Amino acid sequence: MTLPAKPKRTVSSQKNILIGCGIGVAVAIIILVISMSFPVSTITSDNSILVDPTKETQTLFVIARVTIQNTGNQPLTNITVDYGYGDRDFIPILKPGETLIMSPPEGNSLQFVRVTADGNIDVYKAYREPIAMPGMMGS
């Protein structure tokens, strides 16, 4: 006497394709979010600079700063930080690995920053607002 066999469950190829596409879209979104969350440096031969303008809106005030880092192998010279509307700072030299945190002048609109330097460095970035974490100031 033989026992009846259970029918084999088959998952259609359409379902497999749908699941694969869903996973692919999820991975693409995760990569996009991670790449947009972290600033990257602009590279030209031995000259490389990282520019990260941030502004944090608090209840009573706004904290703004521009982080500038020489991520290259050579010193960067004649760096101009243009905050817009005629507000500028000048940095004569930035050694490899050195980081400066600049504060825009009070009353600036905090829309964009343009950083130029010798060696064809020209970076234009808009201010980004970090994600507010629960329990932190301003959240």
- Here the CATH number for the domain that contains residue 105 is 2.60.40
Total of domains in the chain: 1
* Confidence (pLDDT) at 42: 54
b (16+ CB within 10 A) / e for 60-84: eeeebebebbbbbeebbeebebebe
Is residue 48 one of the residues assigned to a domain?
A: yes
Is residue 34 one of the residues assigned to a domain?
A: no
Look up the domain containing 97 and give its range.
42-126
Tens digit of each residue's pLDDT (9 = 90 or more) over 3-27: 666 666 665 777 888 888 889 888 9
Is residue 87 one of the residues assigned to a domain?
A: yes
* Confidence (pLDDT) at 114: 94
